[in-house]
A = this chain, B = another copy of it.
Amino acid sequence: MVVKSELKLIKNLQQKKYRNEKGLFVMEGKKAVEELLESGFEVFKLYSMDQKLRGSWASQVQAISMKELKQVSSLKNPNGVLGVFYKKSIPSLDMDGWTLVLDDVQDPGNLGTIIRLCDWFGIENIICSKETVDCYNPKVLQATMGSIVRVNIFYMDLAEFLKSAEVPVFGTFMEGENIHKTKLPEKGILIMGNEGNGISEPIRSLCNHEISIPQFGKKTTESLNVATATAIFLNEIKRRG
């Protein structure tokens, strides 16, 4: 049995406010929890219904019932393992290679997919506007598939960051230069915008280059989803390397 105060804490950690206040976050699922453990995330508490965790963590696990899990889980169908972790301490920002900047990405699934893409393509740092969805949001964590352990995510004032940048800044727009024909430097910043509105005007004015993915089908007013567009831009950056 889990005491009420702990259940309340886990439930509260679904909210960004509490995650920031406590410096904690929740991960669900055996595989994802083990990946965090192995990558050195510091444990606050571990809970499991009946599954054993690998190695020496098994002894730290507290039993939890399905009824209790259902009270606190962010999943429709909780899958039996839940860990509360301390947030990662972020190293100082090292602008080697390319850096990804997100201007108000709102959808948790999109941010999670983008973190996973950065892991795949070896992009170490993501700089998010303060309004971008929190990377410790449970839906983001589920979508990262554990990649969050290998990517550093910073939240800061984008305009300030970009003003002091010493590498070329590439913003992505519907009407930019064809990425297939754009010369790309070894180091740079790639900016992806909000799902509905794209890159905001103040940030646009700080871009040195405007680039886009050419449309091959019948022209429509639709754009690509921000996560799939990020996939294409990161692949374009890396294929020239």
Could you tell me which A residues sit within 8 Å of B by CB distance? 109, 113, 116-123, 145-147, 150, 180, 213-218, 220, 222, 224-225, 227-232, 235-236, 238-239, 241
With CB as the reference atom, state the residue of chain B lying closest to A112: B225
Whether the Cβ atoms of A146 and B222 lie closer than 8 Å is yes
Whether the Cβ atoms of B147 and A117 lie closer than 8 Å is no
CA A151 – CA B98 in complex, angstroms? Answer: 35
Q: Which of B117, B180, B220, B230 contacts A239 (CB 8 A)?
A: B180
Q: Which of B123, B180, B218, B241 contacts A150 (CB 8 A)?
A: B218
Copies in the complex: 2
What B residues does A118 contact at CB under 8 A? 217
Pairs A-B, 4 closest by C-beta atoms: A122-B216, A122-B217, A228-B231, A231-B231
Also in contact, A216 and B120, with CB within 8 A (given A225-B113, A227-B228, A232-B235): yes
- Provide 17 A-B residue pairs closer than 8 Å at the C-beta atoms, listed in order of the A residue: A109-B109, A113-B225, A116-B222, A117-B228, A118-B217, A119-B222, A122-B218, A123-B217, A145-B222, A147-B220, A147-B222, A150-B220, A180-B239, A216-B241, A228-B231, A232-B232, A235-B235
